[in-house]
A = this chain, B = another copy of it.
């Protein structure tokens, strides 16, 4: 059940299915894409460090290049846009900025800010790149889910693509060494039906203690 223009959570979750066939003539404005991503940033992240970065590719010629980098998956070229979700594995370097803003916006007292900065600077620089990459990857999953739900609510379809040449991507788009590509999300107007997919029975994935 929905009212006005907004759909309820469960309908959006149920209706969201991975779509691989898009109308190549459909476009989505930069403004709408920005708005979608901004909405999605309400997702939580480890110590609120927000390691997610986004490179949104709309240019036709660049999408063609991207298709070659993404195992020739058609949707990399035919979707209206591809949102490359990247992770900053030096996310802790923004801790002062983020917690200063938290105080300015009235979310926490100065003492909490200092404690959070101290604990972040004690932990994050001293774990391996791999651990920080895992943190960024998990947080990227959180925000990617919100992006796909928001896109669906707005009448678009999506598909997340993990299978692409991450080295070539980083090289082609000149990512700095602290930024790793995590997933590509194709977003556009579906040009064919969305297929369902099976789910494992609950007793194979869930236990209680």
Partner of A30, one of B52, B139, B208: B208
A69 sits at the interface (CB 8 A): no
Give the size of the chain A interface in residues (CB under 8 angstroms): 85
A46 sits at the interface (CB 8 A): yes
Q: Of residues A41, A43, A94, A98, which shows the largest number of chain B Cβ atoms within 10 Å of its Cβ? A: A43
User: A86's closest neighbor in chain B, by CB?
Assistant: B205
User: A46's closest neighbor in chain B, by CB?
Assistant: B162
A73 sits at the interface (CB 8 A): no
A177 sits at the interface (CB 8 A): no
- In the complex, the answer to whether A50 meets B200 with C-beta atoms within 8 Å is yes
- In the complex, the answer to whether A6 meets B6 with C-beta atoms within 8 Å is no
- In the complex, the answer to whether A48 meets B198 with C-beta atoms within 8 Å is yes
- In the complex, the answer to whether A138 meets B135 with C-beta atoms within 8 Å is no
Q: Which residues of B contact A1 (CB under 8 A)?
A: 3-4, 6
A–B Cβ pairs within 8 angstroms, 29 of them? A2-B3, A3-B8, A6-B9, A7-B9, A8-B8, A16-B42, A16-B44, A30-B208, A46-B163, A48-B197, A50-B205, A53-B205, A56-B206, A56-B208, A59-B209, A62-B209, A97-B200, A99-B198, A101-B198, A107-B196, A107-B197, A134-B137, A139-B141, A140-B141, A141-B142, A141-B144, A142-B144, A143-B145, A145-B146
Partner of A145, one of B43, B183, B209: B43
User: A130's closest neighbor in chain B, by CB?
Assistant: B130
- In the complex, the answer to whether A162 meets B137 with C-beta atoms within 8 Å is no
A25 sits at the interface (CB 8 A): no
User: A40's closest neighbor in chain B, by CB?
Assistant: B13
Q: What 20 additional pairs, Cβ within 8 angstroms, besides A13-B39, A14-B42, A50-B205? A: A1-B6, A6-B10, A7-B9, A9-B9, A18-B44, A38-B202, A50-B199, A55-B209, A56-B207, A56-B209, A57-B209, A94-B200, A123-B163, A130-B130, A134-B134, A137-B141, A138-B141, A139-B141, A140-B141, A142-B144
Smallest CB-CB A-B distances: 10 pairs: A141-B141, A145-B145, A101-B198, A6-B8, A138-B141, A142-B145, A1-B4, A1-B3, A54-B206, A102-B198
